[in-house]
Structure formats: C-alpha cells, structure tokens
C-alpha cells in the first residue's frame, strides 16, 4: 500500500541486548530516537522536502552525545576527532559529502553545502574546513565533540592495542536517515565519527556515495551502519538500489540479499534503513540490535532497538 510520506532513522547497530540494557538507559535511547525522528516528520507533514527532513534528523543525532556523530563522536588513535558525512537527493542524483573534518559541528549540513554550492561531491580534511569558512560556517573546537565516555573508550582500546569496531555496548555507531516526501522524492543522509582508535585518515562507508549512502527516485534511498570496510567492498547502498532497478527485486528482497546474505559471507556486520517511492521504510540488520525509528503519514512513531 502506498503511503504519501515516510521517514526512518538509525543510530547504530551491534550486539545490543535486553539483558545488558537498563530500563532507564533504554528509555533514554527511545526518547532520543523519537525526538530526532519528529524533527523530520514535521517537515514532511507540512509538505517539506525529503532532503530537508533527513538533514534535520541527522542534525539532531549529531547533537546528541548518545550517538557516534558530532558531539559524542569517538576518537582516533591520536586522540582527535575525524568526522564523515554524506547526503544525496534521489530526484536528480545530486550528492555531497565530507570526510575527516575536525571542526564542523554538523558535518551533514556541510555535506549538503558541498552538494548545493560546489562543483564537487566529496571534500576532505582541511579543504572541507576551508570551504565551510568561505560559507561563513563558524568552526568549533575539539572540546565540543569530546565526552568522558568516548575518551574512556579510547584508553581501553589503546590498552588492548586494538581498533574498536564496536563500542563497549558492542554498537556500530553511525547515524542516518532516509525519507520520501509528498512529491515522491527520496533522500538519504549519514554521519559518523568512525571507529575508536582508528588510524588517522581512515574513511569508512558513510561519506562514500554508493557504499553507505545512496538515493535514487528510480529505486530507493539507503543509509547504512556497520563495519564500513565491508560495506565499501560490497557497495551495499547502491547494490540495493541496483537489485531493484535491474533484477526486479522488491526493497525487502534487495535489503535481505545484501545484509543477510552477502555481507555475512565476508563477515560484515551491521544494517541499513531504506525507503522506496512506495510503501513503508524497511530495516535490515544482521546484528542482535539496531537503534531505529520510523514513521509514515497517518501512523504513529515506531521505535525499535532489539532484533526480536
């Protein structure tokens, strides 16, 4: 059944178990997910664009220290912050992304400026920061991103001499949103701080169009979260769209094939959110849990954490 507008978000996937989650912490996550979603739903309800909606949702998640994006991002091996983000419109396939930015409060909003106000798709590091300053975007200090929780994670990872693909609660911490507006246009956006104790300069799938972020009105909009290297190798986001366009699979079938079959074949862990030009959003993840929420016209907000 076709729905007029629809929106979904994710806040990370991983080994998220009821038995290790306190009732208070679970309630905190559910409230945060619902609040972020409502910022996008309100835009769609009043006839706004899907691009505006996904940017608003990801901004809210970037500002929330519960999630690994923006304020509350994880740290690199050097004890610094390197943030990645991307946004894409399905109507004209316009896309923008930033990688390795160190002084941008909301990387996804800078990614949108790359899409709309430059001739490029991806800007990285100092070049992205210089572009932001040219636009009058005020930089923030690294203190803005830091939380005691993430600093402790870094010290624990360094003590074990490991790069942490998941958090202490075994959660892959990328955030993202997908949406369809009343005009039928799709959009996707993704933002992340990456991996704890990652090598400086490491870039995951989030800012790579076709890997962790993709949108096309011919098929679907997708945002991914998980072990980024695996999502890059399988071009997960674009492949889901291609399976719909060229193989005639439904969105559910395409998501299932990539997430529940092909990713697992190379030991890739994580999940995606997706929405097509028709129907409700689809979630797919091969981990015990994924922080997620969705809403569509005429329906209440749905919030989920666990697989069952």
Quickly state the pLDDT bin for 92 (edges 50, 70, 90).
very high
**Cα dihedral: 274, 276, 281, 282 (round 10):** -50
pLDDT of residue 1: 59
Q: Catalytic residue numbers?
A: 174
Q: For residue range 128-156, what is the model confidence (pLDDT) as tens digits?
A: 999 999 999 999 999 999 888 888 888 88
pLDDT of residue 100: 97
In the predicted model, is pLDDT for residue 176 greater than 70? Answer: yes
Q: For residue range 18-61, what is the model confidence (pLDDT) as tens digits?
A: 888 899 999 999 999 999 999 999 999 999 999 999 999 999 99
Would you say 175 and 271 are in contact if contact means Cβ atoms under 8 Å apart?
no
The mean pLDDT value of the chain amounts to: 93
What residue has token string 């059944």?
Answer: 1
Structure tokens that stand for 219 in this block: 């098929």
**Cα dihedral: 288, 291, 296, 298 (round 10):** 90
CA distance 153 to 120: 35
* Exposure string over 25-50, b if 16+ CB within 10 A, otherwise e: eeeebbebbbebbbbbbebbbeebbb
pLDDT of residue 165: 56
Alpha helices in the chain (DSSP H): 23-45, 50-62, 107-117, 125-134, 142-145, 148-159, 228-233, 236-247, 251-256, 263-265
Residues 6+ apart with CB under 8 A from 151: 75, 79
Structure tokens that stand for 56 in this block: 């608003």
């Amino acid at each position: 059944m076709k729905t007029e507008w629809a929106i979904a978000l994710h806040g990370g996937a991983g080994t998220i178990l009821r038995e290790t989650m306190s009732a208070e912490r679970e309630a905190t996550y559910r409230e945060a997910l619902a609040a972020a979603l409502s910022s996008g739903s309100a835009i769609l309800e009043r006839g706004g664009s899907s691009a505006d909606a996904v940017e608003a949702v990801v901004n809210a998640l970037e500002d929330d220290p519960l999630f690994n994006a923006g304020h509350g991002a994880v740290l690199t091996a050097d004890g610094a912050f390197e943030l990645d983000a991307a946004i894409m419109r399905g109507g004209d396939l316009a896309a923008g992304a930033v990688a390795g930015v160190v002084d941008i409060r909301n990387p996804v909003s800078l990614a949108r400026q790359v899409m709309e106000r430059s001739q490029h798709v991806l800007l990285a590091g100092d070049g992205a920061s210089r572009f932001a300053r040219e636009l009058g975007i005020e930089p923030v200090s690294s203190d803005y991103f830091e939380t005691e929780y993430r600093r402790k994670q870094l010290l624990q990872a360094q003590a074990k001499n490991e790069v942490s693909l998941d958090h202490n609660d075994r959660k892959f911490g990328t955030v993202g949103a997908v949406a369809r507006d009343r005009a039928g246009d799709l959009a996707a956006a993704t933002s992340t701080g990456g991996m704890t104790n990652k090598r400086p300069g490491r870039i995951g799938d989030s800012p790579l169009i076709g890997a962790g972020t993709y949108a096309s009105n011919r098929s679907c909009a997708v945002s991914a979260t998980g072990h980024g290297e695996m999502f890059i190798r399988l071009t997960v986001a674009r492949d889901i769209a291609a399976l719909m366009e060229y193989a005639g699979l439904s969105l559910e079938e395409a998501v299932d094939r990539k997430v529940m079959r092909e990713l697992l074949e190379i030991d890739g862990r994580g999940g995606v959110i997706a929405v097509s030009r028709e129907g409700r959003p689809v979630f797919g993840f091969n981990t015990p849990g994924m922080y997620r929420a969705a809403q569509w016209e005429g329906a209440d907000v749905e919030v989920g954490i666990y697989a069952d």
